[in-house]
Structure 1
Amino acid sequence: MTERADTEVVPARLPGLSSDQVAQRVERGEVNDVPVRSSRSTTEIVRANVLTRFNAIIGVLFLVILVVGPLQDGLFGFVIVANTAIGIFQELRSKHTLDSLAVIGEARPMVRRDGTATEIGTSEIVLDDLIELSPGDKVVVDGRLAEADGLEIDESLLTGEADPVLKRPGDEVMSGSFVVAGGGAFTATKVGREAYAAQLAEEASRFTLVDSELRNGISRILKWVTWMMVPTAVGLIISQFTVENHDWREAVRRTVGGIAPMVPEGLVLLTSVAFAIGVVRLGRRQCLVQELPAIEGLARVDVVCLDKTGTLTEGGMDVTGLRMLDGADEAFVGRVLAALGRSDPHPNASLQAIVASYPPALAEGWRGTGTLAFSSARKYSGAAFTEPGGGAARWLLGAPDVLLPEGHDALAEVDRLNDEGLRVLLVGRTERELDDPRAAAEIVPQALVVLEQRLRPDAGDTLRYFAEQGVHAKVISGDNAVSVGAVAAKLGMPGAQRPVDARRLPAGRDEMAEVLDEGAVFGRVTPQQKRDMVGALQSRGHNVAMTGDGVNDVLALKDADIGVSMGSGSEATRAVAQIVLLDNSFSTLPYVVAEGRRVIGNITRVATLFLTKTVFSVLLALLVVFWQIPYPFLPRHLTLLSTLTIGVPSFFLALAPNKERARPDFVGRVMRYSTPAGVVCAVASFVAYLVARHHYTGAGALDAETSAATLTLFLMEVWVLAIVARPYTWWRIGLVLAMVLGFVVVLGVPWLQRFFALRLVGDEVPWTAVGIAAAGGVVLEFCWAWVSRREARAQS
């Protein structure tokens, strides 16, 4: 609050720096020139895609093949180059999208220069600039307060303390804090890399690949694969040089053929590509994903906490009328409201609606002597005036159920209006000082101000989408519970008829969680309670998403599993949220959920394909070592099969639509499917190879044996692909048939036969190989059905 004596002259606003002073500081390099990174740099992207553990393994094997030849056995090396190039291209594309969107969502503070307030980018701020502050603004650089008018700053992101701090001229302000109430201006004392904002801005908008169950799971799988590869590869090398002691080049080729397919080289790449394309797709809908895992995270949430204002309703409101109390004069109250509107330089949405209906001209002759800025914790604001007749009065404007004592007659009218979904404020006179904690306790009520909120046209459809998807929506608002319930009921939200007043919520986490599980609409929630409610839901094992646009949502957004902010929201909410809806469209959330489900479901599919190959390769190598026979395949054979049954199909499957609900335990589910599939593929192809070895003798026998085993393995892997591609659509069926046609072309075209060293000899062994594959397919179907039944039972 600020108090001024009647005779005190209000100091003129500080003019700020002059244009010449700004130019001098720019010349000296005293500029806040720290770039806000929304993605990895180009160098980092290239390094991350090229310098990987498995690229190193494949690269060494490729160099070995270049030495021993022929080149077609090194085709797997070119596949890695192509995959890496695709990964770099896709991430650079997503980088461009994110960088463009980050500029849209960037903070643009008001800086006073030459006596005029101008909106500029944060990178244009210079040392000693005078920066204005309003409710919801982020302090973008460190500084010292020059002006303060009831200024309260939330420093929770710096200190962890939730209570706002009242600031006065001369006090220090730190970048990374946020204005909760009041206004003012501060002089920048630290800019650029010296300011703490340089670190916070980078953390808030970094393009990351962390805290993702998918990526963590894949990393764990790759670690296991590495440990399995080492002893298996050593045994395979020894066995091949023992068996092929007369031809070391053939031994090297067979060894490389056994080691190369153990590497699921494209799995990490496809995951990154799927995430990156998801970011680009959402970017086209004006959705800024500040952290990649947010796409996956929102698809996993089962509770969405919604702030009513700005989420279910639009920011604007309209005054629909006054309800006079205790015989107050309506014209006089109208002048009071006009004076209150004029007294606040930073009006919130409610006061803006009052200003629109009661313009400042109505309060001509009223002189302000003090103000009390609105606080979400206090739930009222105030101002002191000298009226035209010379009388002095102090007025409060705020929530009726906070300002009025329990049982007051006016509360019945408030409840009735709230039941209609209207918002109600009370205006009244108090004899106490504005900042007196008992100012509201001795109020003389004058009138109820009735406001109507504007519903978002897309909110109802979005709530229905979440209900259909089994995601529980919880409306958590600081407004009156009955009023919030009425708004939610208009949107058709289940449970809206039983709103809960948060002031009566139990303090214990377990007891609060029980009430939260049963209720759907909660009113009169304080900022700290929002945070506690998120924690209580998480304690019950829920994945919680929180949406909001106001400063009072910051703590809850920060603690939620996924924070979603509106683009028109405060800088505070945009800085801590993982997802920013730049067009303020609540209806974008279903697209984010759908994109996350597409990524999760499709990566699970392609991971099964990749790991089936890994399991098959490890087991087949062990069988070869145990039987002491030549490895059945050359690198070119497995490159061909991997391309037709994994590489090309997985790219299409990873980007396909997928509405399957996200489920936990990614690693367990993938391994439960890929392990039996890999075992069946290995056993079937090995049996076909043994049959061919027994049948063929003489020159060229090894090529014929390998061709028969390759035919069986291809049919088995296509069978796995056909299972993974379910449920079938026309394009999925076409994809599988196209891969079969590709293999038939290789077998039918003479020069391709020679290039890939594939030659089916006779009828007996090829048809036996087909029969073995058919038997293996039956076993595959049985294993798949058994695992699916176990998964279904575990879910239920």
Structure 2
Amino acid sequence: MLGLTDEEAEERRRRGQGNALRLPPSVSLWRILRRNALTVLNGVLFGISLVLVALGLLLDAAFTALPILLNVAVGMGQEVSAKRKLDRLALIARPTATVVRGGTERSVDPAELVLGDVVLLRRGDQAVVDGVIVEGRLELDEALLSGESEPVARGAGEPVLSGSVCVAGGAAVETTRVGAATFSNRLALRARAFRDERTPLQHDIDRAIAAVAVLTVAVAIPAGLEFHHHGGLLSPAAVQAAAVLVAIVPQGLAIMITVTYAAAAVAISRAGAIVQRINAVESMSRVDTLCLDKTGTLTTQRIVLDELIPIGVSRPEAERQLARLAASVSAPDRTTRAIAAALPGHPTPPAAEVPFSSARRWSGLTFEHQAGLETVDAEAGDYVLGAPEIVGPAAQLEERWSRTVAERAEEGARVLLFARAPSSAGPASDLRDDDAEHRLPDGLQVRAILVLREELRPDARATLDALAAAGVELRLISGDDVATVTALARRAGLPGLAGAAGPSGRGAPPSPLVAASGRDLEPLDDAALAGRVARTIVFGRVDPETKARLVQALRSLGHYVAMVGDGVNDVLSLKRANLGIAMQSGSAATRAVADLVLADDCFAVLPLA
């Protein structure tokens, strides 16, 4: 593969097709000053202060101007702090990229890439531009972008979005979008946009102060004219009247609200929440609808072995063999770590190993006979862990067990088959065919059905119950499959779902009135989306843009909405909500835009706050 020449790359860079991009600041300091200081209300009060100075009432002038100055200082301090966080926000680290130029691989700064460059992605690399695969196959972790917890396979002709991470395989990717046009930079630009979410109380205080100030001015003008004609504006009576009129204006109310917010923020911090926008303490008390992300919010980042169904062997034998496999893999993944946590075992060096691949959908180990070790010798052979639709036909899984697999899958669980092909005393199989391609061994026999589920946070159910008891409506929004999200919602006891689940997560199929796919919602206009969101509780396969639209639709219905998230895919919806809440273990971008951060990921803080 030749790629572009240096001359072609330079020509495209001159045409503005390079990847160099300097993101603009989120907001200017002048705009922050103007928003906080140059308001009509402040102008009126400062004008009154100048009049008081002219009348020689310096103390009254100070008491009029000082609260306003303090409030401006506090407001500017908060907004400058938020600006700095947003300006540092980046969705992609700036590593080097491996590009093919003139048939030679070289490492370059991502800013040197141009449209049409062929970029090589290998395990551990993060895509820094958007492109399409021209050669090879890889598995991508797109959790940063979509929130989906499982890697996805991509082959020739399929797209790769910037921000995704290669977790297996390798491919050559032709760059199709660079600079501000890439997916990650478009998301970053929107995430960096500044917002000023004022609460109802702040609006009420502003209106009250403005109304009193206007009334004061309306009274002061005729009174001033009267004093001008009878005794002069500097007469003792005029000065006393001015002092009385100024005392009517509650200019200290705004700063007292700020002080009250600060005291409440301290109290909330003791409960385990970090307030990043001071009026968030009021917003929390006004929330009537709470939107939750699934992975990392209701659940931990782990999966657990929920059920093991032995087939043709005793449970202890199936558990022993499975524990040995999980302990012996060279590169544990989420699945083998979950098995090892439930079934600890001792590792045995395998004679051959096939790592899991989402394209292959199975993994395997081969154990050889070992003289003198009767138990190990009896368990020599090929061991396979994989998807039922791949391993089942090869092992001729019986129909009754196929029905069990289907039932568990319909409940939203991840179902795997554990199978073994016994080995003779001869040399071990290497799980390859004559063309050196990985293959399932002959003579496979299914030993167990494994049912894995995402681990709920220990406090999830109690927290949801407390929120529902407080009158807060709940919505669960995720990038995962609708059935999976609905099953987990039932396990967590999310109110409003028919067929409440027991510990295994079993329940009635999701009704279209309570569960919806984001792919069905994307074509809807805002009015239709608002109508649908009003009667829907669970949303699956939702991308970041649709998630933000769902939050906005709830706000358009008059709800005061809070959004809880932990990933970059939640950033837009957090910014669109009245109150954005991030988990402390979430991404830096999510924490940067959040109004409230849950320390130690303590979900149970929400009802208390």
Normalising by the smaller structure, the TM-score range is: 0.5 to 0.7
Say whether 1:87 aligns with 2:71: yes
The equivalent residue for 2:605 is 588
Deviations 1:103-160 (A, max 9, x none): 999868484699xxxxxxxxxx88469999999x997x65779997233759989xxx
Taking a change above 3 Å as real, the CA distance of residues 87 and 552 of structure 1, as seen in their structure-2 partners, is closer
The equivalent residue for 1:469 is 470
**Pairing partner for 1:57 from 39, 44, 47:** 44
Taking a change above 3 Å as real, the CA distance of residues 56 and 74 of structure 1, as seen in their structure-2 partners, is farther
Deviations 1:368-391 (A, max 9, x none): 6x9337xxxxxxx82588989999
CA contact (8 A) 1:150 1:183 kept: yes
The equivalent residue for 2:197 is 210
The equivalent residue for 2:222 is 235
Greater shift, 524-533 or 539-548, is seen at 524-533
Q: Which has the higher strand share?
A: 2
Deviations 1:582-624 (A, max 9, x none): 5211123235xx4xxxxxxxxxxxxxxxxxxxxxxxxxxxxxx
SS in 2 for 1:209: coil
Please report how far the alpha carbon of residue 562 of structure 1 lies from its aligned counterpart in structure 2 after TM superposition.
Answer: 3.9
Q: In structure 1, what is the Cα distance between the partners aligned to 2:270 and 2:137?
A: 41
Say whether 1:314 aligns with 2:300: yes
Deviations 1:374-413 (A, max 9, x none): xxxxxxx82588989999999537999xxxx9x9655558
Taking a change above 3 Å as real, the CA distance of residues 255 and 411 of structure 1, as seen in their structure-2 partners, is farther
The equivalent residue for 1:628 is none
Taking a change above 3 Å as real, the CA distance of residues 321 and 474 of structure 1, as seen in their structure-2 partners, is same
The unaligned stretches of length 5 or more in structure 1 are 1-10, 12-29, 115-124, 158-163, 374-380, 430-443, 595-796
User: 1:658-669 maps to which residues of 2 (within 5 A)?
Assistant: none
Taking a change above 3 Å as real, the CA distance of residues 557 and 259 of structure 1, as seen in their structure-2 partners, is closer
CA contact (8 A) 2:388 2:417 kept: yes
- Percent same amino acid among aligned pairs? 25
CA contact (8 A) 1:127 1:190 kept: no
Say whether 1:565 aligns with 2:558: no
Deviations 1:149-201 (A, max 9, x none): 233759989xxxxxx99687997855xx6669978799999999999978865
Q: In structure 2, what is the Cα distance between the partners aligned to 1:514 and 1:66?
A: 56
Please report how far the alpha carbon of residue 324 of structure 1 lies from its aligned counterpart in structure 2 after TM superposition.
Answer: 4.2
Taking a change above 3 Å as real, the CA distance of residues 548 and 133 of structure 1, as seen in their structure-2 partners, is farther
SS in 1 for 2:601: coil
User: 1:80-159 maps to which residues of 2 (within 5 A)?
Assistant: 80-84=64-68, 86-87=70-71, 90=74, 109=93, 111=95, 127=111, 149-151=138-140
The equivalent residue for 2:542 is 527
Q: In structure 2, what is the Cα distance between the partners aligned to 1:251 and 1:582?
A: 58
The equivalent residue for 1:728 is none
Taking a change above 3 Å as real, the CA distance of residues 211 and 178 of structure 1, as seen in their structure-2 partners, is farther
CA contact (8 A) 1:558 1:576 kept: yes
Say whether 1:497 aligns with 2:497: no
Q: In structure 2, what is the Cα distance between the partners aligned to 1:184 and 1:569?
A: 28
Taking a change above 3 Å as real, the CA distance of residues 545 and 454 of structure 1, as seen in their structure-2 partners, is same
Q: In structure 1, what is the Cα distance between the partners aligned to 2:362 and 2:194?
A: 45
Please report how far the alpha carbon of residue 224 of structure 1 lies from its aligned counterpart in structure 2 after TM superposition.
Answer: 4.9
Taking a change above 3 Å as real, the CA distance of residues 535 and 205 of structure 1, as seen in their structure-2 partners, is closer
TM-score, structure 2 normalization: 0.57
Question: One-letter code of the match for 1:463?
Answer: L
User: 1:292-441 maps to which residues of 2 (within 5 A)?
Assistant: 294-319=280-305, 322-324=308-310, 334=322, 347=333, 349-350=334-335, 352-354=337-339, 364-367=351-354, 371-372=357-358, 382-383=361-362, 395-396=386-387, 409=401, 411-412=403-404, 424-427=414-417
CA RMSD of aligned residues (A): 6.4
Say whether 1:484 aligns with 2:501: no
Deviations 1:448-506 (A, max 9, x none): 223476553444553343244222345567564785366435x9999883656447447
SS in 2 for 1:319: strand
Greater shift, 198-207 or 467-476, is seen at 198-207
The equivalent residue for 1:456 is 457
Question: One-letter code of the match for 1:426?
Answer: L
Taking a change above 3 Å as real, the CA distance of residues 199 and 339 of structure 1, as seen in their structure-2 partners, is same
Question: One-letter code of the match for 2:463?
Answer: T
Q: In structure 1, what is the Cα distance between the partners aligned to 2:126 and 2:273?
A: 21
Deviations 1:245-303 (A, max 9, x none): 46753465256346534644334444455556656665677745565665444332223
User: 1:748-787 maps to which residues of 2 (within 5 A)?
Assistant: none
Q: In structure 2, what is the Cα distance between the partners aligned to 1:88 and 1:241?
A: 34
The equivalent residue for 1:78 is 62
Please report how far the alpha carbon of residue 566 of structure 1 lies from its aligned counterpart in structure 2 after TM superposition.
Answer: 2.0
Deviations 1:412-445 (A, max 9, x none): 58868999xx95523489xxxxxxxxxxxxxx98
Please report how far the alpha carbon of residue 310 of structure 1 lies from its aligned counterpart in structure 2 after TM superposition.
Answer: 3.0
Q: In structure 2, what is the Cα distance between the partners aligned to 1:280 and 1:398?
A: 55
Question: One-letter code of the match for 2:139?
Answer: G
Deviations 1:208-243 (A, max 9, x none): 43353334444455565565555444323222323x
Question: One-letter code of the match for 1:568?
Answer: S
Q: In structure 1, what is the Cα distance between the partners aligned to 2:122 and 2:211?
A: 54
SS in 1 for 2:235: helix
CA contact (8 A) 2:138 2:153 kept: no
Question: One-letter code of the match for 2:59?
Answer: L
Please report how far the alpha carbon of residue 75 of structure 1 lies from its aligned counterpart in structure 2 after TM superposition.
Answer: 1.8
CA contact (8 A) 2:326 2:340 kept: yes
Q: In structure 1, what is the Cα distance between the partners aligned to 2:180 and 2:485?
A: 45
Question: For this pair of structures, how many residues does the alignment match?
Answer: 500
CA contact (8 A) 1:341 1:354 kept: no
Q: In structure 1, what is the Cα distance between the partners aligned to 2:490 and 2:447?
A: 26
Taking a change above 3 Å as real, the CA distance of residues 245 and 90 of structure 1, as seen in their structure-2 partners, is closer
The equivalent residue for 2:423 is none
Q: In structure 2, what is the Cα distance between the partners aligned to 1:327 and 1:167?
A: 39
Say whether 1:260 aligns with 2:246: yes
User: 1:623-702 maps to which residues of 2 (within 5 A)?
Assistant: none
Question: One-letter code of the match for 1:382?
Answer: R
Question: One-letter code of the match for 2:361?
Answer: G
Q: In structure 2, what is the Cα distance between the partners aligned to 1:584 and 1:322?
A: 30
CA contact (8 A) 2:291 2:476 kept: yes
Taking a change above 3 Å as real, the CA distance of residues 84 and 334 of structure 1, as seen in their structure-2 partners, is same
Which one has the largest radius of gyration? 1
Q: In structure 2, what is the Cα distance between the partners aligned to 1:165 and 1:317?
A: 20
Question: One-letter code of the match for 2:449?
Answer: L
Q: In structure 2, what is the Cα distance between the partners aligned to 1:113 and 1:365?
A: 33
CA contact (8 A) 1:97 1:283 kept: no
Taking a change above 3 Å as real, the CA distance of residues 194 and 236 of structure 1, as seen in their structure-2 partners, is farther
The equivalent residue for 2:436 is none
SS in 2 for 1:590: helix
The equivalent residue for 1:547 is 564
Taking a change above 3 Å as real, the CA distance of residues 290 and 145 of structure 1, as seen in their structure-2 partners, is farther
TM-score, structure 1 normalization: 0.46
The unaligned stretches of length 5 or more in structure 2 are 2-18, 99-108, 114-118, 147-151, 369-380, 392-396, 420-444, 502-506, 517-527
CA contact (8 A) 1:397 1:425 kept: yes
CA contact (8 A) 1:371 1:383 kept: yes
CA contact (8 A) 2:310 2:449 kept: yes
SS in 1 for 2:58: helix
Q: In structure 2, what is the Cα distance between the partners aligned to 1:457 and 1:273?
A: 35
